[in-house]
Structure 1
Amino acid sequence: MGKSKTKNYNSYDAAVLEALFLKYKVSKYYIRQCINGTVSGIKPDSIKKDYTIMEKANRDTVMNLMRKTMK
C-alpha cells in the first residue's frame, strides 16, 4: 500500500503576496514564512496583519462583483 498525502499546503493569494512584496521590499518566501508564523518579530507581525486585511478586502470585492453580475 502506498502512503496517502497527509501534508496540507497553504495556498496564499498571489495578488496580495505581490502587493506585500512591493510594500515591504522583501522576498515572497519571507512573506509566506511571516504569514505561516515561522518567523517572529515586529515586521512579520505587521506583514501578517496586512495580509489578513488585504485578503479580506480582496475577497469582499470579488463577492460584491459576483452579486452584481448574478442579478
Structure 2
Amino acid sequence: MLRGTVRSSTPDGRPVSEARVTLLDPAGDVVGIALTAEDGSYAFTGLEADHRRRCGIPGPGRIPHPGCGRTGRL
C-alpha cells in the first residue's frame, strides 16, 4: 500500500482536499489515480514493488506541495 497526505505549501501546511494524485509505473504509464479526502489523505493498494509515484494539484489557486513531481522507488 502507498498512502500519504497532500498539504499546502502555506505556513500552516493545511491539508488539500480533492487533489489528484497520479501513480505511474517505471515506464511512465498511469497505474492509478486518487483524489485526496477532506483531510488530504490518499491511498493506493495492490501495488507491485517497482511502482513510482508523482503527485500534482491541478486547479487555479492551488500550489503543489514541495514533494510533488518527485519520483522514488517504493
TM above 0.5, one fold? no
Larger relative contact order, structure 1 or 2 (CA cutoff 8 Å, min sep 6)? 2
* TM-score, normalising length: structure 2: 0.27
Task: Tell me which protein shows more helix as a share of its residues.
Answer: 1
Task: Tell me which protein shows more strand as a share of its residues.
Answer: 2
* TM-score, normalising length: structure 1: 0.28
